[in-house]
């Protein structure tokens, strides 16, 4: 199991039969991901992690991204 994202939280649930763990990540208020995370992170019973997303992307990785302070741009 990987630790929660920096400045964020990790929520996981197990299937009743223990065959898979499903996890989602979130950022603490005032923080945002440094890159878009997968919709769902899944660990199968052999310990292999994979990602699930509605949009196919090649850059979704495990572990999940950390969260950083939001930057507010002011345009004059």
Kindly report, residue by residue over 28-64, the tens digit of the pLDDT: 999 999 888 999 999 988 989 989 877 665 567 788 9
Give the Å distances, CA to CA, from 24 to 61, 63, 72, 73, 74: 13, 11, 26, 28, 32
Lowest mean pLDDT among 7-11, 21-25, 45-49, 68-72: 68-72
43 to each of 23, 31, 38, 61, 68, how far by Cα in Å?
8, 26, 13, 13, 25
Q: Where are the beta strands (DSSP E) in 1-76?
A: 8-14, 20-27, 31-33, 40-44, 49-52, 67-69
**pTM of this structure:** 0.77
């Amino acid at each position: 199991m990987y630790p929660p994202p920096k400045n964020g939280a990790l929520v996981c649930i197990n299937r009743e039969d223990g065959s898979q763990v499903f996890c989602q990540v979130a950022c603490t208020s005032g923080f945002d991901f440094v890159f878009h995370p997968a919709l769902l992170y899944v660990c199968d019973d052999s310990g292999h992690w994979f990602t699930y997303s509605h949009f196919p992307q090649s850059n979704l990785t495990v572990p999940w991204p950390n969260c950083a302070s939001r930057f507010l741009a002011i345009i004059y």
